[in-house]
Amino acid sequence: MSGAALTKTGCAVGGLHRKAELAHAKIIRVKKLRVGVIYGGRSGEHEVSVASAASIFRHLDRDRYEAVPIRIEKSGQWVLGGKAPEVLSAAEVETTDTNALQSVAASAAVSPERLDIIFPVLHGPYGEDGTVQGLLELADIPYVGCGVLASAMGMDKAVMKTLFASRGLPIVPHITVLRHEWVAGSRAVADRARELGFPVFVKPANLGSSVGISKVKLTAEFTPAMELAFEFDRKVVVEAGVPNTREIECAVLGNDSPEASIPGEIVPSREFYDYEAKYIDAGSKLLIPSPLTPKQASEFRRLAIEAFQAVEGSGLSRVDFLMNGETGQIFLNEVNTLPGFTTISMYPKLWEASGIPYPVLLDRLIALALERHAEKQALRTSIR
């Protein structure tokens, strides 16, 4: 990207940077907030969540916040208090002894009623899909990130694509398959997939971090890919591949007036950006900013905001795109309403490159959560 383009982009995000500084200054003047950080979870992204939480604990300003760990084990058991996670890589996360955690939690004597705000750092089902958000709404406690509706739509790739199509946003050709349809007629499903043209990508509809995703080049590879995806979800999305794919991502921040970061690009170390390429194999490259023309970068940012508003997002999201490397055609892939916050994750890196360092980004997210909660509190709950 040219120096002029970088200057233009810097001006575009400058307003958001100033907002972040104001939010940072505002928080300094109020009492120290107790922030409950919920992490772990029952999904296949448990390890990524633990690594994300470790990074957040490390960067939260201890002069402004008291962070309280709230871990959800893979079994679904909640553990309050104890030691915050420290591993910053999903590959290093090990299964924790729940009995040991229980004894630590018992001695911690932390009361959930004393928490001022919740920062959910849960990726995938049972956390990013609106379930925990609904619980926090019932508890009437402020929380960081998207609400129930946006979280549910952002988690379900099939529903999300239907919504994008209704808004006229560009998406790749695809089909959605339920498990009972696959069991009743796998050959018919394979015929429908062939009409998309190989290669195709087979994905669990409700999962992230590329868990359970396969790239299928041949008919013989289709059935194993479907069986793998159905291990993680009852609904599977099959998408047409994009020639010479470039994977572009934008970070979005805000409530009613969201703004998008400069675009970044992923150059995977493997054939596509699967779980191993994201979190285990260190060979993948993140290009920030992406080598795009100013016009292309502006279009990605515009579409990122449109996608965020389409799902009625709030707080934060990362919007992922696919770009045809031959024609430059852009396709909206998905909105991630609780993107990764690990040390190698795109969301914080994109804002860092856009002028908002990690600690200030956390301040801004907390301020947005309090702002949205105050707005809801002003609504009437009685007709009298």
CATH of the domain at 294: 3.30.470.20
The verdict on 165 and 180 lying in the same domain is no
Compute CA distances 127 → 73, 151, 293, 339, whole Å: 12, 9, 37, 12
The verdict on 296 and 350 lying in the same domain is yes
* Residue at a domain's end among 225, 240, 255: 240
The per-residue b/e assignment along 184-216, b for 16 or more CB within 10 angstroms, e otherwise, is eeeeebbeebeebeebbbbbbbbbbbbbbbbbb
The verdict on 79 and 208 lying in the same domain is no
The verdict on 50 and 116 lying in the same domain is yes
The verdict on 161 and 178 lying in the same domain is no
Determine contact, residues 139/203, Cβ cutoff 8 Å: no
Query: Is 116 among the domain residues?
Result: yes
Of 186, 256, 175, 195, residue with least CA distance to 224: 186
Range of the domain at 193: 174-240
Does residue 166 carry a pLDDT above 80? yes
* Residue at a domain's end among 199, 224, 240: 240
Query: Is 349 among the domain residues?
Result: yes
Which residues lie across from 32 on neighbouring strands?
none
Determine contact, residues 35/118, Cβ cutoff 8 Å: yes
CATH of the domain at 52: 3.40.50.20
30 confidence band (pLDDT: 50, 70, 90): low
Which contacts (CB < 8 Å, 24+ apart) does range 95-102 have?
A: 96/71, 98/73, 101/71, 101/73
The verdict on 66 and 43 lying in the same domain is yes
The verdict on 314 and 334 lying in the same domain is yes
The verdict on 249 and 164 lying in the same domain is yes
The verdict on 96 and 198 lying in the same domain is no
Question: Comparing 270 with 81, which gets the higher pLDDT?
Answer: 81
The verdict on 124 and 206 lying in the same domain is no
| pLDDT of res. 231 | 93
Name residue 85's amino acid: P
Q: Is omega for the bond preceding 289 within 30 degrees of 0, making it cis? A: yes
Mean pLDDT of 49-74: 95
- Domain total of the chain: 3
pLDDT in tens, 101-125: 443 333 334 454 589 999 999 988 8
Of 111, 27, 128, 30, residue with least CA distance to 68: 111
Query: Is 162 among the domain residues?
Result: yes
Q: Which of 38-47, 78-87, 145-154, 159-168 has the lowest mean pLDDT?
A: 78-87
CATH of the domain at 189: 3.30.1490.20
Determine contact, residues 171/330, Cβ cutoff 8 Å: no
| pLDDT of res. 1 | 43
